[in-house]
Amino acid sequence: MFKFAISGAPLWSIAGTILKWGSNHISLSHTQPPHHTTISVPSMTTEESQRVSSETPLQTTKITTSPESQPAASKSQPVSSEIPPQTSEVTAPAKEEWETPLVMGPELTALNDVLEELVKQDRQLVKRFQDAREKALYNTTVVKNKGEGKLNPRVYTAPEEVTHVRGPTVFLAGSIEQNTAVAWQNEFIRRLDGIDCTIFNPRRRKWNPNLTQSELDLIFTQQVEWELACQEKADVIAMFFDPWTKSPITLLELGIFSQAVGKDGQRKLIVYCPKPFWRQGNVQIVCKEYGIPRAKTFDHLVDSVKAKIVELQGPQGAQKEQQEQQEEQQQEGEQQEEEGEQQQQEGEQQQQEGEQQQE
């Protein structure tokens, strides 16, 4: 394999030549355990290997000694031909309790289902109660008062055609919010029992909130035109802002009719805007700027409208209102007398029963 000219060459020179050749062609690896020796023999010259090292890997031959030649203490250890990389082990910190992911078990899932069902049923019950209450309040506006000869106000509900007006006219402007606002209109009508007037109520008993907000929608256009025409015709505009709504249309109507004047030369509007309403400050400033009366409570709003109706009715209206108040006071007195007589009779009856027991 090796061809050297030994004659005339010293041994140290021959040994140096062999070591030099070996360092260029034979790679001895001593990084493995003592029983492993890897010898890499190139299949080409050093210059060719350097030229194509990026394309062709070196062909290696792994030589492993037999287990018999290994020490007895190392026979139980696995034999590996490669050295694993040295890595530093890092112990992860203990996971906090709050970091543990919540896994919804069957019990919690069942409870959530029950809760959703209860909420759904509760909404249905509330809706049924509101519908029944609105129906009852609506019915009170179309019947007579206990045969006393007093008529409830004549009520026109959108989009009814206004054919006959009786007494002063009142428009109930205020929060509707696609029928999600409190049904204050029915309560207001109920409190005007026995007063000779006509009321325009824009809140329909049934309203489709999915109507297109466009003048091309006939039902929507009919509703808006009815409201504007009745507010123009009304002598009084009672405006209530539901504090839990946005009521953009009510704010718009406040601006439109802020300077509207009735037959008596005074402002048509009477406004009640509770403190939680999100634009109460704007409403207050507009009312102050244009001299619009403001009510402090809902009862105050109703009483202010009643007083306005009596004022519009003139002396006859005031006299009629005073007469009705006297009649109500007289009826209350008679009722108290009847209750007193009934209590007296019950006392006498109890006394007689006591005497009979003593005998």
pLDDT in tens, 102-152: 445 677 677 777 777 777 777 777 667 666 655 555 454 444 334 344 567
Of residues 15 and 356, more confidence is placed in 356
Task: Please tell me whether residues 197 and 303 are part of one structural domain.
Answer: yes
* pLDDT for residue 4: 46
Quote the strand ranges of 147-260, DSSP E. 154-157, 169-174, 198-201, 236-240
Token couple for 186: 């029915």
* pLDDT for residue 197: 94
Task: Please tell me whether residues 57 and 166 are part of one structural domain.
Answer: no
Of residues 229 and 25, more confidence is placed in 229
Task: Please tell me whether residues 146 and 285 are part of one structural domain.
Answer: yes
Residue 150: give its domain's CATH number.
3.40.50.450
Would 301 be classed as within a structural domain? yes
Domain residues for 174?
141-325
Task: Please tell me whether residues 198 and 288 are part of one structural domain.
Answer: yes
Q: How many CB atoms sit inside 10 A of residue 79's CB?
A: 13
Would 34 be classed as within a structural domain? yes
Would 264 be classed as within a structural domain? yes
Would 346 be classed as within a structural domain? no
Backbone phi, psi, residue 37, to 5°: -140, 120
pLDDT band for 206, please (50, 70, 90 cuts). Answer: confident
Give 340-356 pLDDT, tens digit per residue: 888 888 888 888 888 88
Task: Please tell me whether residues 148 and 274 are part of one structural domain.
Answer: yes
Task: Tell how far CA 273 is from the center of its chain.
Answer: 24
Task: Quote the CA–CA distance of 167 and 118 in Å, as a whole number.
Answer: 49
Question: What is the arithmetic mean of pLDDT over 297-318?
Answer: 88
Task: Please tell me whether residues 215 and 305 are part of one structural domain.
Answer: yes
Residue type at 1 in one-letter notation: M
Question: What is the arithmetic mean of pLDDT over 217-224?
Answer: 94
Task: Please tell me whether residues 146 and 58 are part of one structural domain.
Answer: no
> pLDDT exceeding 90 applies to what percent of the chain?
36
* Whether 171 contacts 140, CB under 8 Å: no
Would 241 be classed as within a structural domain? yes
Task: Please tell me whether residues 58 and 157 are part of one structural domain.
Answer: no
With residue 276 as reference, give the H or E element that holds it: none
Task: Quote the CA–CA distance of 152 and 200 in Å, as a whole number.
Answer: 13
Would 89 be classed as within a structural domain? no
Task: Please tell me whether residues 275 and 170 are part of one structural domain.
Answer: yes
- Does 309 score more than 90 pLDDT? yes
Of residues 328 and 39, more confidence is placed in 328
* pLDDT for residue 198: 96
Would 295 be classed as within a structural domain? yes
| CA distances (Å), origin 148, targets 151, 295, 332, 348 | 9, 31, 14, 34
From 165, 141, 155, select the one nearest 199 (Cα to Cα).
Answer: 155
* pLDDT for residue 330: 83
Would 85 be classed as within a structural domain? no
Domain count, the chain: 2
| CA distances (Å), origin 49, targets 28, 44, 45, 145 | 18, 6, 6, 116
Place of tokens 């709050």: 98
Task: Please tell me whether residues 207 and 317 are part of one structural domain.
Answer: yes
Of residues 88 and 249, more confidence is placed in 249
Task: Quote the CA–CA distance of 153 and 218 in Å, as a whole number.
Answer: 29
Task: Please tell me whether residues 57 and 148 are part of one structural domain.
Answer: no
Task: Please tell me whether residues 176 and 321 are part of one structural domain.
Answer: yes
Task: Quote the CA–CA distance of 306 and 309 in Å, as a whole number.
Answer: 5
